[in-house]
Structure 1
Amino acid sequence: MNILHITPHLGGGVGKAHAAIQGATGSSVDRAYYLLEEPRDRRYADLVEQAGGRLHHASQGVSLADLIDGADIVQVEWWNHPRLYHLLAASHLPPMRSLFWAHVSGLFAPYIPTGLFSAAGRFLFTSPCSLQSPDIAALPDDVRARLGVVGSGFGFEDGAPGTDPGQGGGTSAAVAYLGTVDFVKMHPAFFDIIDAVDNPDIRVSVWGGFDPEGEPAARARAMRHPERVRLEGQTADPRAALQAAGIFFYPLREDHYGTAENALIEAMSLGLVPVVLANPAECAIVTDGLNGVVAADPAEMATRLGRLLGDPEARARMSAATKATACERYQPRRSAGLLEEHYRALMDEPKLKTDFASLLGAGPADWFLSTQQRDRSSGPGRMFASGGALSKGSIDHFLATFPDDPGLLTLSGATRVG
């Protein structure tokens, strides 16, 4: 089966997922990738190519229509990237068997345009938490039957049960966070929780790029116990950073849009015991008391983290369970197999031509608003303005792509004034 992937890029989480899946794909599937942007970081793109994937870039002048015509199935890697909206809504694409794989949850902004669920031959999520959306409950039965879940987060391959956890795993009381060091994803009480832990010996290593003058760094300096946190910055070796700890501290804001949570799954594959808040994506991965701690709120998180630090037996028991969970549920070969099952089902269906413009909107302002509002009577989502930062899917990201669009300029002015 010839699968054509259309994706804005192969960086970050989507690139990491496809590098792993390409390596786990059997000989019955041939994959090609059409990238809307040139890779800035070629790490995962190179791994995809080394594993047999063929890469095409929009800037090379290759005919996307010809690629679609030659593909059995077109898999669209979906998130609210402005170039992806433009490609689907403003291009005359030939008939295709389409499969969309969503890399955002859709539970909060950025929302997934509901018309895509009906238009796609198959629409897949990366976490079962997405099925909790009211948008899904409102779909007809025949559309819901075309939905599915295929995970895109994977643990370290040699982190299976029985392997040496190094210094970390359940043997260590050291605490680590690895991920986005920005309150767009971190819970705003992140540093308050650490301050409130009833254990003067707690030390938390925070791994991830950060702005020394940004809000997280300022909040860390303003702590009652600033010695409890060390902002380590970006790491080129996340495995080594994680292995030095035994507890993975991962409090995210309740309306974050993540699903796969790669860092969480990687930490679990090494035996770190996760301590998370009861958000949908995390609850789909961590079972409270079995393979980690799921706290209802920041106050409970501080209390239970303190108890875990003083209970090496509980850490050892949950450490073994976290590794088993990662080994059983979060492997590239499992996701590659699930994708292939959906491909085979789609092969029995005809290629169809879809009017994506009618589903997504007429232009950039409509495309952006579709990610922020379930309907026009609701208020803008929290990603409406990005404060000048070019965060993905923000108004500034759309403006950087379409700088002269009147609708976006109007929306941007409203966010700056408001």
Structure 2
Amino acid sequence: VGTVLRALVSASCSEGRFNHRLLCLDRLNPPMAQWAERQQIEARGDLWHDLQELKNNLARADVVHLHWWHHPLLNALMSRTDLPAFRCLLWSHVNGHHAPQNFPLSLAAYPDIMVLSTPWSLQAPALAHENIENQDLRIRIIQSSAGAPRVPIRRKKEHQRFQVGYVGTVAYEKMHPEFLRLCAAADLPETSFIVCGGPDHEQLRQEAASQGLGPVFDIRGPVENAAAVFSSIDVLGYPLNPQHYGTGEQVLLEAMAAGAVPVVLDNGCERHLVENGKTGIVCASVDEYIQALRLLHSDRALLRRLSLNARKSAPQRYPLYALVSAWHRLYNESLGMTPRRRWLQTTAMVPGIQAGGPVSPLLNALEGTAAADLFRGALLSEPKKGAERLKTLSPAWFSATRGSPFHYRQFFPEDAQLASLCAMLREVSVLTRQGVSV
């Protein structure tokens, strides 16, 4: 239950027009349970192991607001054909462009209305190239945002060092694989690079030390008070992996609210959030990114102008009340729809691959991507040949979570084909020196 969802549910409940009940397939961790209790919101966790209770809740809900990303339990649930009839609004929290967080080909047909968190998702392969019936009515856009918080504004003293910060997911499936090199190549005198977030902060710290960059980087790991970091930095250096899965990038909004100037790459999501030359700098290449850091370091008048613009723009562009109002309109609209039974359409299974097992939702979710063919081929090959097939996979596939085979195996540890895929990926990690975080 992330920042945006908590903000939406809390604000919606405070208006008193809708009651919310949180249903989690996985465990509900203690901080979220405590938050729900404070908000007086009913919350249930670990419902994958109590499917009858889950079905009862689906049947009695007026509207099911489904928060989607490629999660093993969610895809397994949506593949079931024995769920009761219900109304469904699906809000995607990934942009849908790249596996494993791509949109499955049949995803848009599952809900009554599919809601995208960024306009960039309209160009995702599963939506851009498919003839979706009544697409203008079936697909909507509500930008993901928890609003711009009140963040203390940086009061920089002349003797303070120039500070570039990165706050967010520290893992190469999200941040740019050459993150350290891009920062170091800017070669900025009297500058600190602050990195906050996890889960791979220790790995990044070791890489920085091995490259002799330890004194340049202040790698802090996860922090509780991100606002204090935003208020201490001059620039949010936020170069993301071109194949990242993000959408609203709440980090950008919060940094701009504090007056930190964002410097980003020209990825689909970021270009919709940062106005190039007005509230930050959008770079067409990594070389431009390096030059942008140098420019802001040397031209403090430009830095101050962009900082002021960013600070003014952040609260105006995506206020929380607009998010809540948009969802309330959709809730009311959906009440006029007829509840129906639904399931994700499955593709034809390949001989030699277990039908109906946990690997089926994984392959079905990846249908239409190169990864689906790679995994099928690997499962039908000898282990060494299978591992060789998988050498072209991106860092996202070596994550412990985010829809990777390792993620699926956490929930289905007895499945032999998932075990085989994970073993082959471990072999690839040795051959290519990818980091396997499990």
TM-score of the superposed pair, with normalisation by structure 2 = 0.83
Q: Secondary structure at the match of 2:329?
A: helix
Find out whether 1:79 has 2:66 as its counterpart: no
Whether 1:57 aligns to 2:69 is no
State whether residues 80 and 343 of structure 2, in contact with CA within 8 Å, keep that contact through their aligned partners in structure 1: no
Q: Determine the structure 1 residue equivalent to 2:417.
A: 407
For the pair 1:274 / 2:265, whether they are aligned, the reply is: no
One-letter amino acid of the structure 1 residue matched with residue 334 of structure 2: L
Residue aligning to 1:194: 183
Per the alignment, do residues 292 and 369 of structure 1 end up closer, same or farther by CA in structure 2, a change over 3 Å counting? Answer: same
Paired with 2:116 and 2:293, the residues of 1 have a C-alpha distance of 31
| Paired-residue identity, % | 26
Which residue identity does 1:336 align to in structure 2? V
Gaps of 5+ in 2: 350-355, 376-392, 429-438
Q: What are the equivalent positions in structure 2 for 1:235-384 lying under 5 Å apart?
A: 235-356=223-344, 358=346, 362-375=356-369, 378-379=373-374, 382=394
Aligned counterpart for 2:145 among listed residues 132, 153, 161: 153
1:95 corresponds in structure 2 to 85
Mark the CA change 1:371 to 1:86 in structure 2 (over 3 Å): closer, same or farther: closer
Query: Are 1:118 and 1:143, in contact at CA under 8 Å, matched by a contact in 2?
Result: no
What is the CA-CA distance between 1:210 and the residue it aligns to? 5.4
1:82 Cα shift? 1.0
1:77-102 per-position Cα deviation (integer Å, ceiling 9, x unaligned): 11111111222223621111111111
Distance 1:51 1:256 in 2: 33
What is the distance in 2 between the residues matched to 1:52 and 1:151?
27
The question of whether the paired residues in 2 share the 8 Å contact of 1:291 and 1:318 is answered with yes
The question of whether the paired residues in 2 share the 8 Å contact of 1:292 and 1:318 is answered with: yes
CA distance in 2, matches of 1:32, 1:345: 19
Distance in 2, matches of 1:108 and 1:19, equals 26
Contact 2:3/2:146 (CA < 8 Å) preserved in 1?
no
Q: Does 1:19 find its partner at 2:6?
A: yes
Aligned residue number for residue 404 of structure 2: 394
Structure 1: distance between partners of 2:202 and 2:258: 33
- Shift of the 22–52 alpha-carbon distance from structure 1 to 2, 3 Å rule, reads farther
> How many Å separate the matches in 1 of 2:369 and 2:127?
15
Q: How far apart are residue 382 of structure 1 and its match? A: 2.7
Judging changes above 3 Å, is the alpha-carbon distance between structure 1 residues 268 and 379 closer, same or farther for their aligned structure 2 residues? farther
Instruction: Map 1:92-171 to 2 at 5 A.
Output: 92-109=82-99, 110-137=101-128, 138-159=130-151, 165-167=153-155
- Give the match's secondary structure for 2:215: helix
Greater mean deviation of Cα atoms: 236-245 or 61-70:
61-70
Mapped contact 1:107–1:257 kept (Cα < 8 A): yes
Distance 2:118 2:165 in 1: 24
Contact kept? 1:113, 1:360, Cα under 8 Å: no
Sort the Cα spacing of 1:221 and 1:383 in 2 relative to 1 into closer, same or farther, 3 A.
closer
Task: Say whether the 8 Å CA contact 1:385–1:412 is kept in structure 2.
Answer: no
Q: Specify the code of the residue in structure 1 equivalent to 2:75.
A: Y
Whether the 8 Å CA contact 1:111–1:374 is kept in 2: the answer is no
SS of aligned partner of 1:55: strand
The alpha-carbon distance between structure 1 residues 168 and 49, as it changes in their structure 2 partners (threshold 3 A), is: farther
Alignment of 1:220-235 (within 5 A): 220-223=208-211, 226-235=214-223
Give 1:24 shift: 1.4
DSSP 3-state at the match of 1:203: strand
Shift of 1:75: 1.1
Aligned partners of 1:19 and 1:44 also within 8 Å: no
Q: 1:209 to 1:353 in 2, by over 3 A?
A: closer
Per the TM alignment, residue 194 of structure 1 is displaced from its structure 2 partner at its CA by: 1.6
What is the identity, as a one-letter code, of the residue corresponding to 1:131? L
Residue 195 of structure 2 is matched in structure 1 by 206
Distance 1:193 1:322 in 2: 23
5+ residue gaps, structure 1, are: 1-9
> Taking structure 1 as reference, are residues 353 and 127 closer, same or farther at Cα in structure 2, changes over 3 Å only?
same
SS across alignment from 1:205: strand
1:313, 1:202 → 2: CA distance? 18
1:295-353 residue CA offsets vs partner (Å, 9 max, x unmatched) = 11221111111111122221222122222332123332221111111122211111111
Task: Tell me, in whole angstroms, the C-alpha distance in 1 between the residues paired with 2:348 and 2:20.
Answer: 27
**Cα offset, 1:16, TM superposition:** 1.6
Please give the alpha-carbon distance, in whole angstroms, between the structure 2 residues aligned to 1:312 and 1:360: 60
CA gap 1:382/1:93 in 2 versus in 1, 3 angstroms: same
SS for the counterpart of 1:145 is helix
**Compared CA separation, residues 328 and 384, structure 1 to 2 (3 A):** closer
CA displacement, residues 239-281 of structure 1 (integer Å, 9 cap, x when unaligned): 1122111211111110011112122221112121001111111
Kept in 2: contact 1:85–1:360 (CA 8 A): no
Counting matched residue pairs gives 396
- Counterpart contact for 1:191–1:220, Cα < 8 Å: yes
Q: How does 1:36-51 map to 2 (within 5 A)?
A: 36-40=25-29, 42-51=30-39
1:357 is displaced (CA, Å) by 5.8
Residue 51 (structure 1) shift: 2.9
